[in-house]
Structure 1
Amino acid sequence: MPSIIQQSFSVSLRAMRFFFLYPPDKHKTLYRICTHVMYFVFIVPFPSLQFLNLVLQENLDFSQIADNVFLLAEIMCFLPKLYPFLGNSERIKKCIHYFDGAFFEVVRTEHEEILKQCMKMCRGTAILFLVAVTGAYISWSTRPISWKNHIFPVDLWMPYDVKTAPVTYIVGTYLYILAAAAYGAYTSGVIDPLIAGLAYQATSQIKILKHKLQFLSEHIIDEVGKNTKLDAKGLNKLMYEKIRKCIIHHNLILEFVTEYEHCFSQMAFSQFVAAIIVICVSCLQLTLVDLLSLDCLAMVMYLITMLSEIYLYCYFGTLLYEESNTITDAIYLGKWYEYDVKCRKALILLMERAKKPMLVKCGHKIVDMSLDTFSMILRRSYSLLAVLESFNE
């Protein structure tokens, strides 16, 4: 039977394996070589050629500069976002499958329902995001149809004259642009819901932990049986063992959050920084293009996709924070007043440990993965948009 992670992220994991970002159990060296080749062929040259065009091109008007900066910011974010997969793919893979461990297996129906809801959310998010990325990619790749005096969907510096070059050069360059853009778009499109979904997996584990802590007495009665007679000492011993397992469960979730932050904080931070520029320039582009043109459709699709990317991170990061912040409430709602002194002391230790909520930091602890960061990104984008609008006028 497929594991929880495989059921939750089957689409993302298959796509990552196809793009050489998910190392197999065999032929790891060959797979790592392919990962480096894909990165340095499709990720590195694309922004370099764009930057050269922006620096060397003469007589660029404001709309051309805005369009180049818009795409350059997004493509540049792929460099730090995918770089961890070059040398840290094994650790990332272990972090992805962290909750496949034997300790996280559930037997109670209530806990299975929590995991089913989590898996459904993760699968739906991954599929919806792939559809959005596909729509944005198609609308962007067909831009030359309505883009006058342009052959490619993006301005790049080329070592030949595009107007007089042979058709084979044009076709080859166009295919390379489409391949490089597809690699960046789809790898980002499968990584983002995966990273956000892992935060939701941790949130679901906290929900299970809270349910265990709130109904400790009821669970013991269900397991032992109402007709089985145990003395107070035996019940207290079972209760303490249950609390001890809850503490271990909490520690394992904390360890995951630490590992999760180490593996994915750089990816999330690069997306946040690029989002400020991309959202700003996208809104600016919408004021410069015809509302009934394909350019307008491409900008709208791209803007929706970008907002969805950063919202996923921030929303699921906030859910993780809020659930971890209510562990002490779950303990208080239980029948702690019926436990012996040893059990209550153990619960007090857990409550003290749980006073510090699980808040994921991004970019070497620069910003939080929360909805406050999402609103901050929107504010910074609006501020930059106001500056560019005044400069354009």
Structure 2
Amino acid sequence: MTSGVTATVLALAVTPLLTGDLAQYELPFWAWYPYKTRTSPLFEIMYLYQVICVFCIAIISLNIDLLNMALMMYVGIQCDLLCYDLKKLNNSKKDFNINLIKCIKHHKKIDSFAKHSNVFFNEILLTQFLTSTASLGLALFQLSLVDPLSLDGYTIVFYVLCIITEIFLYCFSGNEVECKSSKIPYSAFESDWTGAPIEAKKNLLIFILRTQKPIKMSAINLFSLSLETFTTILRTSWSYFAVLRQVNGQA
């Protein structure tokens, strides 16, 4: 993903050099400045400034994405560990209930951590998904206006692939959390509970009922991160692209 972001920024940066726009003092990115940028050395300074700024913004955005994904991966790993501990519960009258209580406390910590993590990045997710959906539709429309085998076409393709990869990794990480947390009640039932005391069986039953609802990562509770959401975003972006192409054809 890092290499994809770097390649996209470099492609955008060198496009004016290879297309001849540099001789016309065309900057790599559209921007307005309160002074003339078509004179040397202001043009060279602003050219370098744009490339460095866009690269820094891309790296910062990438690090934020990786942090959010790492938090979700951590929740998924903790769910795997909890499932492993639940399956190892034996029917010892004393140890079963003690170890079960430890597993219950572990699940509470996992659920609390997941909720706090979700609060941390749910607004980021909402903004990211809304902008990515619109950007993907616009990028596809722009790709339809240029030669796909040209330098501009390759640059847009790199950009589209980066957006799709970013959305997919978010949705895949959230989907893994939901799938792994949904296995917790089954793992609890697979434990050797038949010879456990009545109190332990009651605690186990309550725990199984409590964990029937899997942990879901969402964007302000509007939609959950899942592979279904990923396909929905792609369909929405394609719909935007189709509308833009139809409007452009009628113009």
Please report the TM-score for the alignment, with normalisation by the length of structure 1.
0.60
**Whole-angstrom distance in 1 between the partners of 2:185 and 2:234:** 33
**Counterpart position of 2:209:** 352
1:181 matches 2:54: yes
2:225 pairs with 364, 369, 381, which one?
369
- Would the aligned equivalents of 2:25 and 2:43 in 1 still touch at CA under 8 Å? no
Q: CA deviation at 1:262?
A: 0.8
1:143 alignment counterpart = 15
| Aligned ranges 1:69-218 → 2 under 5 Å | 129-145=1-17, 146=19, 148=21, 149=24, 151-163=26-38, 165=39, 167-217=40-90
SS at match of 1:338: coil
Percent of paired sites with the same residue: 28
**Partner residue of 2:109?**
252
Give the match's secondary structure for 2:145. Answer: coil
CA distance in 1, matches of 2:20, 2:106: 57
- Number of residues paired by the alignment? 246
Listed one character per residue, the Cα deviations across residues 190-222 of structure 1 (whole Å, up to 9, x for unaligned) are 2212211221111111011011111212xx9xx
Give the Cα separation in 1 of the matches to 2:27 and 2:195.
73
Shift of 1:162: 3.4
Q: Which residue of 2 aligns with 1:384?
A: 240
Question: Residues 32-70 of structure 1, C-alpha deviation per residue, up to 9 Å, x if partnerless?
Answer: xxxxxxxxxxxxxxxxxxxxxxxxxxxxxxxxxxxxxxx
1:96 maps to what in 2?
none
User: Aligned equivalents of 2:242 and 2:202: distance in 1?
Assistant: 57
Q: CA deviation at 1:147?
A: 6.4
CA distance in 2 between counterparts of 1:261 and 1:380 reads: 24
Q: Distance in 1 between matches of 2:165 and 2:148?
A: 22
Structure 1 residues 170 and 336: CA distance shift in structure 2, 3 A: same
CA distance in 1, matches of 2:100, 2:234: 43
Counterparts of 1:153 and 1:183, CA distance in 2 = 15
SS of equivalent to 2:105: helix
2:241 alignment partner AA: L
SS in 1 for 2:41: helix
Match for 2:46: what amino acid? T
Equivalent-residue separation in structure 2 for 1:139 and 1:307 (angstroms): 18
Q: Note if contact 1:214-1:334 (Cα within 8 Å) is conserved in structure 2.
A: yes
Partners in 2 of 1:269 and 1:141 — Cα distance? 29
Shift of 1:150: 5.7
Contact 1:193 1:312 in 2 (8 A): no
Q: Does 1:326 align with 2:198?
A: no
The answer to whether the Cα contact below 8 Å between 1:213 and 1:243 also exists between their aligned partners in 2 is yes
Query: 2:148 & 2:174 partners in 1: Cα distance?
Result: 35
Task: Quickly say closer, same or farther: Cα 1:147–1:312, change in 2 above 3 A.
Answer: farther
Deviations 1:163-190 (A, max 9, x none): 3x3x121122112211220121001112
Q: 1:155 Cα shift?
A: 1.2
Q: Mind listing any 5+ residue stretches in structure 1 that lack a counterpart?
A: 1-128, 221-234
Mind listing any 5+ residue stretches in structure 2 that lack a counterpart? none
The letter for the 2-side match of 1:371 is L
Runs of 4+ in 1 over 6 A off after TM superposition: none
Contact 2:9 2:51 in 1 (8 A): no
SS at match of 2:93: helix
Distance 2:123 2:131 in 1: 12
Q: Judge conservation of contact 1:162–1:170 (CA < 8 Å) in 2.
A: yes
**Could you tell me the TM-score, scaled by structure 2's length?**
0.93
Distance in 2, matches of 1:274 and 1:376, equals 15
Aligned-residue Cα RMSD (Å) equals 1.5
